Amino acid sequence: MTDRRKVALLGVPIDMGASQRGTLMGPAALRTAGITPVLESLGIDVLDHGDIALAGVAPATDAIPAKANNYRDIQTWIRALSPRAYDLARSGAIPIFLGGDHSLSMGSINGVARYWHEQGRELFVLWLDAHADYNTPLTTMTANMHGMSAAFVCGESGLDGLLGDEPRASIPPAHLDLFGIHSIDPLEKKLVQDRRIAVADMRAIDEFGVAVLIHRVIERVRARNGVLHLSFDLDVLDPGIAPGVGTTVPGGATYREAHLVMELLYDSGLVGSVDIVELNPFLDERGRTARVAVELLASLFGQQITDRPTPSNTLSEPRPAQVAKIRPTRS
């Protein structure tokens, strides 16, 4: 079983799945922003496995899909990552995969799903993202593979040889929740509707609030005695909060909405593994997005508002005049 007090970090510096290069610097930026000391301050034992190595991955010989940019390079990463993800899940720690673009989820989730399937537990995936990422080589408008990762995870055809000899451990579309979506391609939208995938777009979040919608996800997982994988794409956040991503979309989640999602997920005790992806330090503003990402991960692992250090511009004790102002006026 997963130990919530142990975390295993693994960097996956891949950026060939996106249209803009630079996410390969994401793992280093998250480390520089303090992911390890922040988690350790919460009493968590953190083991950083460094960045994944590609040495020893045999060349693939399957046919290359017509519309899948950089297929061979990404295939090498995915074939290296899936067995590592399986081993990390088996270690009992919560694996956190530091991206890297979202194509890495094809490997991370496959390995984690394989482990949980062996344990007789169902894996559910919360896809926190501005985009559905449910394209296939037949529906894609860009051929960028980070937009195909959710579809691959759910067993859609088109990238069938991607894993080579590594076992494919897909999840049913009913086990995927697309959350925070505010950009989707036309053919992709039809495929999502045909598969009857649960979607909480920004309209739903505006109308019902994140708490109601996240509780629905949590209760569905809990009802099946399932385990939840969080695949967190930083572009789900409004660009005013997280500018350091390559596919910004206005109208994303606010800072407090994102923290509430993480806090509720921590309370649920269901999260067994995490991707944090699409951080592009080349596009960031003085590490702003990396710092926000680390703050959100801290909330996911138990940090509460009252745990956070008092800002330096806040008085530690009220001045006498302030005390007079806040003194009760009636008994």
The residues annotated with a catalytic role in the active site are 102, 129, 131, 133, 146, 233, 235, 278
In a domain, 36, yes or no: yes
pTM for the whole structure: 0.91
DSSP SS3 for 86: helix
From 157, 143, 147, select the one nearest 195 (Cα to Cα).
157
* Residue ranges at the known binding site: 102, 129, 131, 133, 233, 235
Q: Which two tokens stand for residue 201?
A: 């777009």
Strand partners of residue 8 = 47, 95
In a domain, 204, yes or no: yes
pLDDT of the residue at 323: 33
* Residue ranges at the known binding site for Mn(2+): 102, 129, 131, 133, 233, 235
Query: Looking at 13-138, which runs of residues are DSSP E strands?
Result: 45-51, 94-99, 123-128
In a domain, 1, yes or no: no
In a domain, 199, yes or no: yes
Where residue 225 sits, what CATH number does that domain have?
Answer: 3.40.800.10
259-304 pLDDT per residue, tens = 999 999 999 999 999 999 999 999 999 999 999 999 999 999 999 8
- How far is residue 16's CA from residue 21's CA, in Å, rounded to a whole number? 7
In a domain, 141, yes or no: yes
CA 163, chain centre distance (Å): 21
Q: How many domains, the chain?
A: 1
39-60 pLDDT per residue, tens = 999 999 999 999 999 988 888 9
In a domain, 331, yes or no: no
- One-letter amino acid at 230 equals L
In a domain, 153, yes or no: yes
DSSP SS3 for 272: strand
In a domain, 151, yes or no: yes
Domain that holds residue 289: 6-326
2-30 pLDDT per residue, tens = 778 999 999 999 999 999 999 999 999 99
Mean pLDDT, all residues of the chain: 92
